[in-house]
Structure 1
């Protein structure tokens, strides 16, 4: 398990972005993950351009998204055992080759090969986000700076899904979907190169006891299993919002709402992340996560009362204010609970849980899209599911060695707690 030192109350003297390697790692990860937001748009337009239907394009997008989510834990386990440089390099070369080959196959002529390439491209998506979460304790030994960097990291991840689709749509309109896939592949390669050539990534080494946790790895820990299940509800809320945004755009005949509504959530996430990372918070990590998740769930409730384009654009800012605190607290808890040698894989499982929940939220919201009120309540339902699981599993989420002391929690050397 992680053995981070006690968290002091004083804020770091230097801004987090001014610390060595931080900006490069953060920018590299964001650029390298842009294909995640660009490829689905390019797949839909490439399929339709080659004679396929929107249904086929949507199916390929679903395959890509699901494969990306499921591939992260596997690649995370390989990173924990073989290091970041080798695994990330092989992964990005594989996904780049797949994206470059896709336009050459032809959707209608070789549908099975096309689907296979899409799945392989998703499975080999480099684990940049999980790898970055594992690097923060190395790059920033100060726990206060770690929390601030994690909040900045989490808050900025939403920009991938705000900037990626419009960028892909613009490229498809001006140069075509083939060029869009080539640009996506190039951005992924560039971002991964920035990360793997950075000194912290090159020097990162697996823990001596990596590989001693059996087939289940971090899933051996009951608390982590509950945590991953809980955060799937958070992903459900995000996926449901995307569909609700499309339905509002159609209802008000304003296509821009499709992008503006998720962007409002991201703006709230950035603002909330800036506020959250400026100070430390009292209570155990599990209590902090439960409080943040509760506020996130409550903030969704006004969405059901949204009537008109302006409320639809503004109200998603409210849950966004608590999204970064929820995700950051979850990653801090993963860091505290993950058995030794499994941190990257554990972070990847959390990312996968959010991704799978997001896919489920999209599917359920799509079925309820013609019922505006019910569609608007689905994000709150997903967020409330997160809170429910956290409350039920609160005992298994306790971090061994934490003891209250004058309003804050101090962690001593933790013991193994694979329950």
Structure 2
């Protein structure tokens, strides 16, 4: 996979300059607030079920259905956004999603609860893909755009640290129903903050050209990229279950949350370091470098470390995750047809989500085999690296990178 930019320079910028650019702080902040339900809703759903006397198995099923419906519907929502704009799609989705979260505590029927969480997941607004589509018009300078993308990607870990903690606090202080109500309100508020911003209101889909040939989305290189990201997702999903197994093995429930939090902290740190400057090498080379670091970072788990070393070790692969995801978005932008950019971003997000689900499911089957379970994250990362290496035919023509401006 020979991709797609000329080598980047080592130009520098500052976070102050990026955040001080018009609309950047509002878009970043609105997206983080609007996506907090991604970290809050699954936990709040489980707590709602168990607090009302339901089983943990049913709560877990509802939580999984919510996440799966949200992931699988990403490409459809991205395609709709490319056709109809951000306001109509994300606005409608946010209203439906919040309505479903508010309705869930009012039912005692398991069948109705399943329908509500599936609807809520399907309607989760595609804020991440939408934000990535806005960056070229908000930040025409490629150096500042690079920093914003790294900052955007790196801070995603905060969603999965802050969200569950906020749900736990609201449930302890009042009830899971209140936690779901706050989740719904935050989703609406964040989405409204983005959709009322001038860049989102001005963004329009690229009109169809005279030929439909250029609208083909799934080139071999994009398919290879998405397949590699499935491997990245497998590593993350396996790590989440491995964390629970570590907590059980060491009789320390807190580890189930501390280890993923350490991984997310590494992602935040890596994002800040990566976004502080641009780095030499093409996006493909940077993606490969990040994937190598990601794979090597999981190797200490093979020794079945004790909690403290395991927590420190989880930071390392997290630090490379931002580089992988940020460069994957850059490459996707260069390879996707202009009028299907948001849909392509949504497929990228879906690829990681599918990998996470597969990794979690496979890890559950390996729970009684500690060494094999500990090797699963490294195995997923190795799969990603192998796909990228096999998909780099030197004979493939490099095409110049592009950044589309939606007028």
Tell me, in whole angstroms, the C-alpha distance in 2 between the residues paired with 1:44 and 1:211. 50
Q: Match of 1:220, SS?
A: coil
Moved more, 233-242 or 216-225: 216-225
Q: Match of 1:126, SS?
A: coil
Please report how far the alpha carbon of residue 320 of structure 1 lies from its aligned counterpart in structure 2 after TM superposition.
1.3
**For 1:382, which of 367, 380, 394 is the aligned residue?**
380
> Is the CA contact 2:334–2:402 (under 8 Å) kept in the aligned structure 1?
no
Q: Match of 2:368, SS?
A: coil
Match of 1:332 in 2: 330
TM-score, normalising length: structure 1: 0.90
Which structure's relative contact order is higher, taking Cα pairs within 8 Å and 6+ residues apart? Answer: 2
TM-score, normalising length: structure 2: 0.92
Pair 1:11-2:9 in alignment: no
Gapped regions of structure 2 (runs ≥ 5)? none
> Is the CA contact 1:210–1:340 (under 8 Å) kept in the aligned structure 2?
no
Tell me, in whole angstroms, the C-alpha distance in 2 between the residues paired with 1:38 and 1:278. 30
Q: Match of 1:207, SS?
A: coil
Match of 1:43 in 2: 45
Alignment of 1:288-327 (within 5 A): 288-327=286-325
Gapped regions of structure 1 (runs ≥ 5)? 403-410, 415-419
Match of 2:253 in 1: 255
Match of 1:190 in 2: 189
CA pair 398-260 structure 1, distance change in 2 beyond 3 A? farther
CA pair 255-79 structure 1, distance change in 2 beyond 3 A? same
Match of 2:235 in 1: 237
Which runs of 4 or more aligned residues in structure 1 lie more than 3 Å from their structure 2 counterparts after TM superposition? 3-9, 210-214, 216-219, 395-400, 411-414
Tell me, in whole angstroms, the C-alpha distance in 1 between the residues paired with 2:187 and 2:390. 40
Tell me, in whole angstroms, the C-alpha distance in 2 between the residues paired with 1:277 and 1:135. 18
> Is the CA contact 1:209–1:340 (under 8 Å) kept in the aligned structure 2?
no
**For 1:343, which of 341, 357, 377 is the aligned residue?**
341
> Is the CA contact 1:286–1:398 (under 8 Å) kept in the aligned structure 2?
no
Pair 1:179-2:178 in alignment: yes
**For 1:92, which of 66, 91, 94 is the aligned residue?**
94
CA pair 252-6 structure 1, distance change in 2 beyond 3 A? closer
Match of 1:226 in 2: 224
Give RMSD over aligned pairs.
2.5
CA pair 211-304 structure 1, distance change in 2 beyond 3 A? farther
> Is the CA contact 2:7–2:280 (under 8 Å) kept in the aligned structure 1?
no
* Partner deviation per Cα, 1:264-310 (whole Å, 9 max, x = no partner): 11121122112212232333322221121111111111112242211
Count of residues in Structure 1 that have an aligned counterpart in Structure 2: 401
> Is the CA contact 2:94–2:188 (under 8 Å) kept in the aligned structure 1?
yes
